[in-house]
Every structure is written in structure tokens, then in C-alpha cells.
Amino acid sequence: MDGRAGAGAMDGSRVLLVTAVDWIASIGSATLLLAFFLVQRGVLSAQSTAYLLLNLVGSAVAALAAWMGKIIPFVVLEVVWSAVAAWGLWTLWQRSRRAEL
């Protein structure tokens, strides 16, 4: 038995073992969902620094969890997601620099 959800313990009861990877993945996913929720509610703009930072941090944390769990397709997904968010932040920064000139 591996101690994961659904695995039987010696006494026949079920055991739920939440690993560090589970916690890291949950934090990353929750951050991404928070960003999505705030945009859907109109609290943030999809082009705002806060939204892009939430996406960058959430996807980077989720990528770490996917790497630790050896789930390569999700590593690729989250790394691309992080790159797109970073590119969006870079674009915002460039625009703000041009506006200051």
C-alpha cells in the first residue's frame, strides 16, 4: 500500500496522506483559480499587473509540483503559462517606461 487516498490500512480503514507535492500543487492551483475568479468578478483586469503576477506565481508553483511529481506534460503546460504571464508583465513594464518618456 502506498498511503495515498483509497489505499487500505492494515486495519481495513482508509488512509489519506497529503504529501508536500499535494500541498504545493494545491497552492499553485488556488493562486491560478483566484486570479481567474477575480477577473470574472471584474475585480481585476486581465491586463493588470496583479492578475499577471498571480498567474506567474501560481503557474510557477504548479510547475514545481508537476516537476516533483514527474508529470512532464503539466510541467510543460505550467512553464508555458509562466512564460506567457512573464511576457505580459514585460509588455506592461515596457509600456509604462515609454509613457514616462
For residue 44, report the phi and psi dihedrals to the nearest 5 degrees. -120, 155
For residue 7, report the phi and psi dihedrals to the nearest 5 degrees. -75, 140
pLDDT number for residue 12: 64
pLDDT in tens, 32-80: 999 999 999 999 999 999 999 999 999 999 999 999 999 999 999 999 9
Mean pLDDT, residues 88-99 taken together: 94
Please check the confidence at residue 89 and state whether its pLDDT lies above 90: yes
pLDDT in tens, 3-37: 455 555 566 677 788 999 999 999 999 999 999 99
